[in-house]
Amino acid sequence: MFITPQNARSYFGAEMPAQFLAGVYQLQAAASTYGTTLEDIAWDLFGVVELGGYSLRYSQTPPELFPFARTGGDGIHYGFVMHEEGHPSYPAAEICPMDSDGAILLAHNPQELWQNLLEEDADVRARYAGLLQTLGLEAIATQKQRWRYFEAKFRAQPAARAGWHWQPTSDGVGVFAPDQYFRTRHRSYNPSAADEAADFQQLADDCRNEALYGSQLYYLKEAFWHTWATSHERAVELLQAMLLPYEQLGRAHLHAVTQRLIQDFQLGRI
């Protein structure tokens, strides 16, 4: 499928950063020049086998992570962490469904993203030297920040904002919302504790009753992350409960993704 400004949102499932889309368009335009395809260029330069959207998700991919590419190995996929829509830039994260690490920071912005993904093969960089210049990338082997981010398990944390709080979660993306929607302290999930998921669902209910939708979402996301693989019925129940905080926090794009995830869980498609 040829990606255009008219179909980019439907293709990726969200309003992707303009700088990222500009790079995609430049890669597409270069394909004919180099006598190849977008997929081949993406593989040669960035090690991804497919650019895509919702179809790249796995069961544990957080709603906030909007996929844009996959590597073809171990289910690894990349996405932008988008707590809100309408911003010019978002951090990008990598998630491997085979691991329990959750989403790990890949890049702070689209420009850093392309540079961090750039393959280190000197012959490949030489072949595409003109394209790399067009993309504003260094055609040299650089110290990839992505490895430092991954080794330290840095999270794709949104830019700090006065009066807002980012509450880390086990899925790696956290919850980001105004302070008024959070408790001052949150309990950490203990996977070895009996009935921990049920306790966290009760804590979520308590927060809902107090209109603390950020904390409610935190407890629901923690329970989901630690139990989705053992009970699809509970996974659906937790996803359904997430709809309210997403709605109350004004996250229409996350509400829509969660509704789709619920349907996929119910139909056994994910």
Is 60 exceeded by the pLDDT of residue 141? no
Cα–Cα dist 48/116, whole Å = 13
Instruction: Give bridge partners of residue 69 from the DSSP assignment.
Output: 51, 78
Q: Where are the beta strands (DSSP E) in the chain?
A: 50-51, 65-70, 77-81, 92-95, 104-107, 164-167, 175-178
> What is the average pLDDT across 16-22?
94
Task: Flag whether pLDDT at 48 surpasses 90.
Answer: yes
Q: Please name which of 200, 154, 158 lies closest in space to residue 176, comparing C-alpha atoms.
A: 158
Q: Which of 171, 172, 200, 205 is nearest to 186 (CA)?
A: 200
> Is residue 168 exposed (0-12), middle (13-18) or buried (19+ Cβ within 10 Å)?
middle
- pLDDT over 70 for what percent of the chain? 98
Residue 140's pLDDT band, with cuts at 50, 70 and 90, is low
- How far apart are the C-alpha atoms of 207 and 181, rounded to whole Å? 9
Alpha-carbon torsion angle 97, 266, 244, 183, nearest 10: -40
Instruction: State yes or no: pLDDT of 128 exceeds 80.
Output: yes
Q: How far apart are the first and last CA of the chain?
A: 23
- Type of residue numbered 219: Y
Which residues fall within 8 angstroms of residue 92, CB to CB, at 6 or more apart?
Answer: 78, 79, 80, 81, 105, 106, 107, 109, 110, 113, 156
Six token digits for residue 247: 């709605």
pTM of the model: 0.94
220 vs 232: CA distance, rounded Å: 14
**Cα separations (Å) of 12 from 5, 21, 55, 71, 141?**
11, 10, 9, 16, 30
Residue ranges per domain, the chain?
8-151, 164-266
Q: How confident is the model at residue 182 (pLDDT cuts 50, 70, 90)?
A: very high
- What's the pLDDT band for 44 if we cut at 50, 70, 90? very high
Point out the least confidently predicted range of 13-17, 176-180, 246-250, 259-263. Answer: 13-17
- pLDDT band (50, 70, 90) for residue 21: very high
Q: Where does the pLDDT of residue 147 fall: very low under 50, low under 70, confident under 90, or very high at 90 and above?
A: confident
User: What pLDDT is stored for residue 151 in this prediction?
Assistant: 75
pLDDT tens digits, residue range 189-234? Answer: 999 998 999 999 999 999 999 999 999 999 999 999 999 999 889 9
Task: Give the burial string for 42-59 (b: 16+ CB within 10 Å, else e).
Answer: bbbbbbbebbbbbebbee
pLDDT digits (tens, 9 = 90+) for 230-266: 988 999 999 999 999 999 999 999 999 999 999 999 9
